[in-house]
Amino acid sequence: MAQDEIRKGDIGTVLECLIKDGVVIVPLTGYTIANIILQKPDGTIVTKPGVVPVPETQGLVTYTTTALSDLDQTGCWQIQAHIAIPGGDWKSDIDTFKVHPNLV
């Protein structure tokens, strides 16, 4: 049984992105923008407000799903973070994850 599978309609799933400049993690101290950008399997793009966990030097941006509609399609999703800090404006690498169907 796969315990780490993301399911359609899951609530409370933490999605995260790591912001790096090359191989160096970017400290996000003093950030002014922190968003998670999701592309659904049908190509629709949605932007969710991200959270920068403490300590902000980890370079992480997260979003926790809060509604059935957050993960409303099965298939391959893409995820990217957008962050702005006084020293620059970055987007993370694009990553993918799969949302699995439910029996009912």
User: Scanning the structure block, which residue is given the tokens 């957050």?
Assistant: 70
State residue 21's pLDDT score: 87
The stretch 34-50 carries a mean pLDDT of 98
Answer for the pair 36, 53: CB distance below 8 angstroms, yes or no: no
What is this structure's pTM?
Answer: 0.90
- C-alpha to C-alpha distance for 29 and 26, rounded to whole angstroms: 9
Domains in the chain (CATH in brackets) are: 6-100 (2.60.40.10)
pLDDT at 2 > cutoff 80: no
State residue 27's pLDDT score: 93
State residue 6's pLDDT score: 96
